[in-house]
């Protein structure tokens, strides 16, 4: 695998872990509003990561 691909996969793993932890915390706090926001933001964050676009 190319270095850039490995880097993106590692970054995707980190992003997934970050969002999973945030959603789990929001569930524990019964924060449906935050869960909805995280769910809406996740695909955008993945796209930005994959295309190299800054937020």
List, for residues 3-54, the tens digit of each pLDDT value: 988 999 999 999 999 999 999 999 999 999 999 999 999 999 999 998 887 5
Q: Tens digits of per-residue pLDDT, 5-18?
A: 899 999 999 999 99
Question: Based on the structure, what is the number of domains in the chain?
Answer: 1
Q: Residue 12 is part of which domain span?
A: 3-51
| Band of pLDDT at residue 55, cut at 50, 70 and 90 | low
- What is the value of pTM for the model shown? 0.83
For residue 14, what pLDDT is reported?
97
For residue 33, what pLDDT is reported?
98
Cα Rg for the chain, rounded, in angstroms? 13
Question: Could you give phi then psi for residue 31, rounded to 5 degrees?
Answer: -105, 75
């Amino acid at each position: 695998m190319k270095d850039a691909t490995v880097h993106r996969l590692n970054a995707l793993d980190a992003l997934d872990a970050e969002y999973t932890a945030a959603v789990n915390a929001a569930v524990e706090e019964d924060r449906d509003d935050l869960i909805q926001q995280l769910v809406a933001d996740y695909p955008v964050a993945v796209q930005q990561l994959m295309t190299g676009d800054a937020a």
